[in-house]
Amino acid sequence: MCPGQQMRVASSSPFPHLEGRHPCFSLTAEGHAKSGRLHLPVSPGCNIRCRFCKRDFNDSERRPGVAHGLLSPEQALEVVGRALKLCPQIAVIGIAGPGDTLMTDHAIRTFEMIHDAHPHLINCLSTNGLLLPEKAERVVGAGVETVTVTVNAVDPQLQAEINPSILFRRRWIDGEEAAAILIANQLAGIRRVVELGAVVKVNTVLVPGVNLDHIGHVAEAVAAAGASLINVIPLIPQHEFAHLQAPSPVQVERAREAASKHLSVFSHCQRCRADACGIPGISEFSNELYGISNSDFHASTFSHG
């Protein structure tokens, strides 16, 4: 997408109240750099298997699925207070892992406490969407204003290549059956939280050779469900997709152009850690906030699904 196109999208933003307040829902580079966000790593397990996802505990990598360790909801509330002192520009509290935020109740409990203690902050939840339809009321009731759902395909055959298994209703389901359930729940969940008043952004991981020519279809489907924004994220080759190449800038732009026919496109993503703190691309305070010597972290409770 050319700069002129990006500005036209930004000027007709369906959520102007978030521009400059929520970095990940700001369509201009200026708005993206105005406010900070804090990610709280309170969600231990995941209920789907992603071939690109390698979750870990360390203090060096800068990517999703990585954190120094896990916090309890009570510890997370204390961390918010310390983070606001380190970075007063923080306007958004996000929970994006390191597992799925809806597999356990940790994220919802955390948001409930933060909403009571800091009602001026924007609460933002990221999820794979598998359990979103059944938990939508609790999510919005906890003060969550923005929801990000990762939707990598709306064709079960393609989805199964990226997300081959799900844990649903106490059993593992594989292949296209699993993919069809996941897609249906993602779209139903988006519709429900939008009905309840949340603004939805969709993240789509761009995997060359799998969904490169499918991004427009994803954007069309999630737009019909009520999403307002899409973020096309280039694949980080790792885990089961370590043999693939990251998409080229030309491929990323082609995918974004296809998506822009249906939705506003977010193009400033920093692919943040699950415990990021600060203004994306400008300041980062996670080491000061969480430091690897912090004995309150409990890496041993992490679950790989």
Is pLDDT at 57 greater than 70 in this prediction?
A: no
Alpha helices per DSSP H over 142-174: 156-162
How large is the average pLDDT for residues 257-268?
A: 89
- Position 6 scores a pLDDT of 40
pTM: 0.83
By mean pLDDT, which of 59-63, 75-79, 122-126, 142-146 is the weakest? Answer: 59-63
> Quick check: 75 and 110 in contact, CB under 8 A?
no
Question: Percent of the chain, pLDDT > 70?
Answer: 75
- Position 286 scores a pLDDT of 73
* Band of pLDDT at residue 30, cut at 50, 70 and 90: low
Is pLDDT at 21 greater than 50 in this prediction?
A: yes
Angstrom distances, CA of residue 253 to CA of 88, 161, 233, 267, 276: 34, 23, 11, 10, 26
* Band of pLDDT at residue 29, cut at 50, 70 and 90: low
Q: How large is the C-alpha radius of gyration of the chain?
A: 18
* Band of pLDDT at residue 8, cut at 50, 70 and 90: very low
Angstrom distances, CA of residue 13 to CA of 17, 24, 108, 190, 229: 9, 13, 28, 19, 9
Instruction: Considering the domain delimited by 3-291, tell me its CATH architecture.
Output: Alpha-Beta Barrel (3.20)
- Position 66 scores a pLDDT of 58
Is pLDDT at 10 greater than 50 in this prediction?
A: no
**CA-to-CA distance for 17 and 275, rounded, in angstroms?**
25
- Position 25 scores a pLDDT of 66
- Position 145 scores a pLDDT of 93
* Band of pLDDT at residue 65, cut at 50, 70 and 90: low
Taking only the tens place, the pLDDT of each residue in 209-249 is: 999 999 999 999 999 999 999 999 899 887 788 899 899 99
- Position 290 scores a pLDDT of 72
Q: Torsions phi, psi of 222, nearest 5?
A: -75, -30
By mean pLDDT, which of 40-44, 50-54, 101-105, 245-249 is the weakest? Answer: 50-54
Is pLDDT at 52 greater than 70 in this prediction?
A: yes
By mean pLDDT, which of 21-25, 56-60, 190-194 is the weakest? Answer: 56-60
- Position 281 scores a pLDDT of 61
How large is the average pLDDT for residues 261-288?
A: 73
Closest CA to 241 of 50, 67, 46, 66: 50
pLDDT mean across residues, the chain: 82
Is pLDDT at 294 greater than 80 in this prediction?
A: no
Is pLDDT at 274 greater than 60 in this prediction?
A: yes
Question: Percent of the chain, pLDDT > 90?
Answer: 55
Closest CA to 228 of 270, 191, 268: 191
Is pLDDT at 23 greater than 70 in this prediction?
A: no
